[in-house]
Amino acid sequence: MKSLFLRLLVSLWLAMALLVGLFAVIHGWAFSAEPNALRRRLSTRSVELRAESALACARDGLAGCERSLAPLDPRDQRVAVYRSGALVSGEPVEGAAGIEERARRSGDGIAVEVGERELVAVVLRRDPSLAAVATGPVRSPWVFFLMPETLPQRLLAIIGVTGLVAVLLARYLSRPIRILRGATQRMASGDLSVRVSRQLAGADGETLALGRDMDRMAERIAELLETQRRLLRDVSHELRSPLARLNIALELVRRRSPPDVEPAFDRIERETERLNGMIGELLTLSRLESGRGMERTERVDLTALVEQLVEDAAFEAEQQGCSVELGARDACSLDGNGELLRRAIENVVRNAVRFTEPGTAVRVDLECAGGLAEVRVRDRGPGVPEGALVDIFKPFYRVDDHRARGAGGTGIGLAITQRAVLLHGGEVEASNADGGGLVVALRLPAVVEG
């Protein structure tokens, strides 16, 4: 039982049930079979009234007067009226003479004898020469709790009331935990705007303080991330101008230099182009992380877009001794930013071409059904360790640093893919394929035609 709500519910319910049982034990101990004088007077009053009723009925000459002296059920007492040991009314009671004598000698006119059966004698106050003698089964001190006639109803009442109280208490005590858990899940998914202190209004002081601390933590993390993005964006912008001037200076120096240094200039040019491309990807990533890019949307023909990307990637794949082929191809379109979608799919395809084995083919499939478009890209490369399938979408993450650098990647492409797909309301998933290779699936909400 891992649920806090169920633990609280069962604990409170058992506690209340045990409390009811304890009350029953206290009742049984306090109301023993030998009562005190006041309780004896109260409990024997009905015997006295039944006897007086039967005598009054007989004086009026009515029939059936002794019916009030007969027991109502097997647990009730049978009453008889005696005068100095002689039966006046009712059926004879064994031991009546002795119990009557004890009642007359007692201070309150009552005598009780408990054996196999309970024997009670009460001197009538209206006519002290008469005494009512009652006999019946011994009354259990538990009779209040265990009367068969009302036991089911009382048990249901106990279960219902304690259960209702337990449910309300459990919900009240577990509600702050549910709120905090939901907030942490939203924060883990990237929503740092979540605040919980208002939702915890009315909670205990410790929980409310925890909620305030969590709000401050979310605000601080949001500030740090925004500072990081701003720094990344500003640095990327500032690097663009020096790189442009460096390219101009490179061309000027190239023209005045002897041919034997040309390879060095080519190497410098390639590195500056690579650095310029990385800066461009950093700016794109910063823009996507800030939620921009979806200000303008259009109807995008996803089928035509995938076909064009496969055609372009096939030319690049030929240079590496592999190929790119288009498998399943459904007619599909969606509303979004065409350039972002192109970048997202192109990054995955080019990444697959980069790592697939020579002589193999990268397969691209496009399926559209039920309002969902899925683009699957499979390579024939070494795959990715299971523990890194989620991490490959983080900026600058490398499964194998040496291999990734040798392949020419920047470590930003898949991060751009994930954020672009998330902005379109979709999701990205990577998995290792049977037989080797990596499968990256991009799922996007499609437009249902017709």
The residues assigned a catalytic role are 237
Length of the chain: 450
In DSSP terms, 377 is beta-bridged to 364, 440
Reported for 205-209, long-range contacts at CB under 8 A and 24+ positions apart, including other chains, are: 207/176
Residues in Cβ contact with 262 at an 8 Å cutoff, skipping those fewer than 6 apart: 254
Phi, psi angle pair for 286, to nearest 5°? -60, -40
In DSSP terms, 444 is beta-bridged to 373
Centroid of chain to Cα 22: 35
What is the C-alpha separation between 81 and 405, in angstroms, rounded? 113
What is the C-alpha separation between 314 and 352, in angstroms, rounded? 11
Buried b (16+ CB within 10 A) or exposed e, 73-95: eeeebbbbbbeeeeebbbeebee
**Residue labelled with tokens 């039966």:** 87
What is the C-alpha separation between 437 and 409, in angstroms, rounded? 18
SS3 78: strand
**In Å, what is the CA distance from 302 to each residue of 373, 428, 447?**
9, 16, 10
What is the C-alpha separation between 89 and 66, in angstroms, rounded? 7
